[in-house]
Amino acid sequence: MISNWSTVAGRTFRAVRDTSAPMTYGLIALCCLIFVLGPASGLDPAYGTGDALMAAQRAYFRHWGVIPAELFAAPVREALTPATALFVHGSWVHLLGNMLFLYVFGAMAEERMGRVQFTLFYIGCGYLALIGYAAANSASQQSLVGASGAISAVLGAFLYLFPDARVTSLLPFLFFLPLRFPAWVVLPFWAALQWLAAGRATEGPGVAYLAHLVGFTLGFLFAWVRFGRTTAVPSRGTAPGPPAERPGRLDHE
């Protein structure tokens, strides 16, 4: 069993290393691995079933996720939780939605920024997005987990760097017909939906739309400041994309 896992891990590492965007695919692999090994996947019998599994999930999210009230009550002790929360997801839908967006938009952004800069950008913007949400909801006791803040930053940077890239979108009011639009149409539309949803959001389990907005804004500003007004890269072709309305979930469990 250990030998099989070692073989799979070795092949995965070599495949990731040899791609043009190793950090993007490495982040996807890491998030998937952490999820599969944790209680949220429901695959490890050691966490039990029924109420025992639910209790294990709640404890897991509280340990690794951001709890706004505790973050600001004990900032030194809780300072790492916005970083660990980026790699924890609350459900299969949450994980797959986020990883799909990272897969679609992350590779081109990484190729433009470079491996090291992209990794620091991803973690730094994701960290600040969670901090921003926690600051606006400083009394909340809900656990906040997920990579959506970081991935929203990738979307913001992508909008600046590749405004003319064609993104295939599935719009519900058009019966989910796949239509291709430039990024400068799809991504601002997505950001507007997040802004509208954030205005109606209430405290409790759900999607942290404000973290999406903070991440998206940070990502766009970073690309604008770092690459300047004259370095936006023209599209190299069509970038297939998931539905335009949101990049998965950022859950309060």
Whether 131 has a pLDDT exceeding 80, the answer reads yes
pLDDT tens digits along 175-191: 444 556 677 777 877 78
Which position among 140, 148, 152, 169 bears the catalytic label?
A: 148
Which position among 94, 140, 143, 212 bears the catalytic label?
A: 212
CA dihedral (118, 129, 71, 73) in degrees, to 10, reads 130
Active site residue 63: no
Active site residue 89: no
pLDDT at residue number 200: 67
For residue 178, which of 187, 188, 168, 191 has the smallest C-alpha distance? 168
pLDDT at residue number 246: 34
